[in-house]
Amino acid sequence: MTVSSAQPPRRGRPPKADAQLSRAAIRAAALRVIDTDGIAAVGMRSVARELGVDAKSLYHHVDGKDDLLDAVAEHLLQSLRVPEPSGAVDGDLRAMAHEFRRVTLAHPEAATLVLTRQLSSLGSLAPIEAMLTVLRSAGHTSDESVHLLRTLLATLIGTLLREAAAGPAFGTGDPDGIAARRAALESSGFPETTRAAACLAVFDRDREFDYTLDLIIGLVTRR
């Protein structure tokens, strides 16, 4: 009879990769999966494969897929650098909106997590607190500040979801695409569409975001 010289692993001693696991490492792996394959690809097994560990070992650090997605969303929101208040309501709101956009577009595949996930951690509330503070400094009551905040966020979320995922309905930023789109619009047979073809054919993401921001902040500050 041949006796194997290989010794079985000791009980209670996890593999090296498992021993190095942490919530932060799991969250980072989940974000890599999202960046590469999208949110739909995230699961305990796919993240475990990314880390080279058994899926069961993840449950020592996260409760499941929902907790995993919450961790990613909270991490991205907590990476927001809340600007120091300047005293100018429109400038402060604009600075926070641009920071919100920066974080969202840094990981476009994770945009829906950042923009739509309901979070309750204290860290994720910091941007909300900052915006409410600015609105209150403009003389609005707490209740009215909440309504204005929700209006501002609804506009930003819709704009950023389009930019990160859906793209423009008509225009493009590619020169050849602009020419082709303009020609198609001009030959559409719709008078107003034809007149607006030159503008409709072009989609400048930065200009569109700033235009939307000017519009909504103007409405908020004039309230």
Q: What value does the mean pLDDT of the chain take?
A: 86
Q: Which amino acid is at 21?
A: L
Q: How confident is the model at residue 126 (pLDDT cuts 50, 70, 90)?
A: confident
**Are residues 93 and 25 both part of a single domain?**
no
For 202, phi then psi, to 5°, come to -105, 135
Q: Are residues 34 and 68 in the same domain?
A: yes
- Helix, strand, coil shares of the chain, percent, nearest 5, are 70, 0, 30
Distance CA 41, CA 156 (A): 26
Residue 7 CB neighbour total at 10 angstroms: 6
Residue 198 lies in a domain: no
- What's the token pair of residue 193? 């569409």
Per-residue pLDDT, averaged over 115-126, amounts to: 78
- Is there a domain that residue 4 lies in? no
Quick check: is 84 in a domain?
A: no
In this structure, is residue 174 part of a structural domain? no
64 and 99 assigned to the same domain = no
Answer with the one of 56, 77, 98 that is the final residue of a domain: 77
Percent of the chain with pLDDT over 70: 87
* Residues 43-52, mean pLDDT to the nearest whole number: 96
- 56 has pLDDT over 90: yes
Residue that finishes a domain, picked among 52, 77, 102 = 77
Q: How confident is the model at residue 166 (pLDDT cuts 50, 70, 90)?
A: low
Q: How many domains does the chain have?
A: 2
- Are 96 and 163 members of one domain? yes
Same domain? 72 vs 125 = no
> Smallest Cα–Cα separation from 208: which of 101, 83, 116, 126?
101
Task: Tell me which residue range forms the domain holding 150.
Answer: 89-168+203-222
Mean pLDDT in residue range 175-195: 93
pLDDT digits (tens, 9 = 90+) for 62-116: 999 999 999 999 999 888 888 888 989 999 999 999 999 999 999 999 988 888 8
| Residue after which a domain boundary falls, among 38, 56, 77 | 77
State pTM to two decimals. Answer: 0.79
Give the pLDDT confidence of 206-218 residue by residue, as tens digits: 999 999 999 999 9
